[in-house]
Amino acid sequence: AAGTVGSIVGTFATGFVFISWFGTHTIIWGVAVILAALGVMLIVGGERGGDPISLITALMLVGAAAAFVASRGALNSICVRETNYFCIRVNEDEYEGEKMQVLILDRLVHSYSSLTNPTKLIYTYEKLFAELTEYQAQRASPVSALFIGGGGYTFPRYMEAVYPGSTLHVIEIDPGVTE
């Protein structure tokens, strides 16, 4: 029963608290250090616990090794920000001679956005959406749109620039993506 309660508490605490506070990268390294310390305590101490000086020395060695690994940058995450949903990275890239911001969620590129030219669209589906929106704008103006998932907000920014006065709503579950 105690093991089950511990598993449930650990699952919910990790999913709703610890990932937000520390990120998965730090959590995995922390668990590795704790398991290494417990392993050293068991090896040095044996079943009866062993002498305290050996245990303290062994734990200090594990702590020193962990500090060394941390000083070498192993705890640094590749994420700009890690949320409950994504490892978020923003890189700069060049496309057709123009600097673009690239939004990467986990390992997938979600958008290319020009910070200077919001009408610059890269993906074919965005260009198709632009044509469909132009068709719709000719029939009814101002245009109204709902976006489920903001990503890099490339198309909402495009519509804001091309169709001023339109009503645009974006639903994004992860506030970290919006930030």
CA distances 56 to 39, 50, 59, 68, Å, are 13, 11, 5, 18
Round to whole Å and give the CA distance between 90 and 92. Answer: 7
10-residue mean pLDDT profile of the chain (179 residues): values are: 90 80 78 82 70 76 81 74 82 88 90 91 92 90 89 93 93 88
Query: Which strand (E) or helix (H) includes residue 88?
Result: strand 87-95
Query: For 98, left (φ over 0), alpha (ψ -120 to 50), or beta?
Result: beta
Nearest to 112 by CA among 95, 96, 127: 95
Amino acid at the residue 51: D
Contacts for 81 with CB less than 8 Å, ≥ 6 apart: 88, 176, 179
Contacts for 160 with CB less than 8 Å, ≥ 6 apart: 118, 166, 168
pTM of the model: 0.63
Amino acid at the residue 24: T
8-20: pLDDT as tens digits: 998 888 777 887 7
Q: Give me the pLDDT at residue 25, please.
A: 75
